[in-house]
Chains A and B, each alone.
Chain A
Amino acid sequence: DAMVIQNPRYQVTQFGKPVTLSCSQTLNHNVMYWYQQKSSQAPKLLFHYYDKDFNNEADTPDNFQSRRPNTSFCFLDIRSPGLGDAAMYLCATTTGYNTEAFFGQGTRLTVV
Chain B
Amino acid sequence: GNSVTQMEGPVTLSEEAFLTINCTYTATGYPSLFWYVQYPGEGLQLLLKATKADDKGSNKGFEATYRKETTSFHLEKGSVQVSDSAVYFCALSDQRSQGNLIFGKGTKLSVKP
Q: Interface residues, chain A, CB within 8 Å of chain B?
A: 4, 6, 31, 33, 40-43, 45, 48, 50, 55, 57, 90, 92, 94, 96-106, 108
Q: How far is the CA of A94 from the CA of B95 in the complex (A)?
A: 13
Q: Point out the residues of chain B lying under 8 angstroms from A105, CB to CB.
A: 42-43
**Interchain CB contact under 8 A, B98 and A104:** no
Chain B contact residues, CB within 8 Å of chain A: 31-32, 34, 36, 41-46, 49, 89, 93-95, 97-101, 103-106
Beta-carbon contact of A103 and B44 below 8 Å: yes
CB distance B101 to A97 under 8 Å? no
CB <8 Å contact, A43 and B44: yes
Task: Pick from A48, A98, A101: contact of B94, CB below 8 A.
Answer: A98
Identity of the chain B residue whose Cβ is nearest the Cβ of A57 in the assembled complex: B100
Residues in chain B near residue A101, CB distance under 8 A: 34, 44, 46, 93, 99, 101
Q: Across the interface, do B89 and A98 meet the contact criterion of CB distance under 8 Å?
A: no
For A45, the closest partner residue in chain B by CB is: B100
Pair B98/A48 contact, Cβ less than 8 Å: yes
What are 15 contact pairs spanning A and B, CB under 8 A? A40-B106, A43-B101, A45-B100, A48-B98, A90-B43, A90-B44, A94-B99, A96-B99, A97-B97, A100-B34, A100-B46, A101-B46, A102-B46, A103-B43, A108-B41
